[in-house]
């Protein structure tokens, strides 16, 4: 899954670590690993039981000062709407417009 497609989804300000964990558990995700570099970055990696998708909760304190989800899966397109809805993520993609004809 290391070469799997990935997407970054911004979390709303009110989403806490505990809130994220509660939603992830309720949807069957399993916490796999935690990375905690004080003053730098905090990250929790969650996976689905069949290991076909990974969900990274990231607090980037040092660089962007943002909290976001990084979703990695070969089935990314199918997962994104469900994850975006469950976690109330903020769409940061540029608006798609029709090309001129």
**Residue-level pLDDT at 101:** 53
Judge whether 57 lies within some domain.
yes
pLDDT in tens, the chain (101 residues): 558 899 999 999 899 999 999 999 999 999 999 999 887 889 999 999 999 999 999 998 777 778 999 999 999 999 999 999 999 998 665 554 454 55
**Residue-level pLDDT at 51:** 93
CATH of the domain at 49: 3.30.160
| Segments forming the whole domain that contains residue 47 | 6-87
**Residue-level pLDDT at 97:** 46
**Residue-level pLDDT at 94:** 54
**Residue-level pLDDT at 74:** 94
The torsion defined by the Cα of 13, 19, 20 and 24, in degrees rounded to 10, comes to -150
Judge whether 47 lies within some domain.
yes
Number of structural domains found in the chain: 1
**Residue-level pLDDT at 39:** 79
Judge whether 73 lies within some domain.
yes
Judge whether 99 lies within some domain.
no
What is 1-49 written as a DSSP string?
Answer: -TT--EEEEEPPTT--HHHHHHHHHHTT-EEEEEEEETTTEEEEEEE-T
């Amino acid at each position: 899954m290391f070469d799997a497609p990935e997407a970054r989804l911004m979390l709303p300000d009110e989403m806490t670590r505990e809130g994220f964990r509660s939603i992830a558990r309720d949807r069957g995700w399993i916490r796999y690993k935690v990375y905690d570099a004080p003053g730098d970055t905090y990250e929790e990696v969650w996976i689905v039981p069949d290991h076909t998708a990974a969900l990274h909760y990231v607090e980037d304190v040092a660089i962007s000062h943002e909290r976001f989800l990084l979703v990695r899966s070969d089935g990314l397109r199918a997962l994104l709407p469900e994850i975006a809805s469950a976690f109330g993520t903020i769409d940061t993609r540029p608006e798609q417009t029709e090309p001129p004809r």
